[in-house]
Each structure stands twice: as structure tokens, then as C-alpha cells.
Amino acid sequence: MDRTSLKYEFILDDNTTVPRLADGDNCAEGIPAIESYLESQEQFVKDWYEDRCDKYEFDPDAGPGIKGING
């Protein structure tokens, strides 16, 4: 878990016999399911950054380009 960029909290429960990950309404039980879920979340984060940052070329020093105000 330390290699993930996702925020997490471990909750120990003596009544639980299978590892369980809960994320809002999503729940994964068992190590393979948990690993798969975490990988899907990491991929989601990577894709989000790629879609938001890497695909757009922009000049950070340029104005907002609002028509009628500065161009």
C-alpha cells in the first residue's frame, strides 16, 4: 500500500476472516480483488492526468483569450 498515491486507512477487525477494501460504495474482498481494484484506481489517476495535462499544449503566459476583451 505504501507505493500507492491513494489515501487509505487500515482498520483492524478481529471478526474479519478475509481482507476487505471499502471505497465508498465499492468493496473488494480477497487479495486478488483488492490488488485488481487498486490497479484500476491507479490507472484511473494516470489516465486523468494524461487527459488533463499531457494532451493540451498551452502558453501559461498567454491571457485567457476571451473574445472582445483581449482579442
Are 28 and 20 in contact by the 8 Å Cβ rule? The answer is: yes
Residue 55 has pLDDT above 60, yes or no: no
Position 31 confidence tier, pLDDT thresholds 50, 70, 90? very high
| Prediction pTM value | 0.57
Do the Cβ atoms of 43 and 5 come closer than 8 Å?
Answer: no
Q: What percent of the chain has pLDDT over 90?
A: 23
Domain range annotation of the chain: 1-61
- Residues in contact with 30: Cβ distance below 8 Å, sequence separation at least 6, in sequence order: 18, 19
C-beta separation of 30 from 19 below 8 A: yes
Average pLDDT over residues 10-24: 89
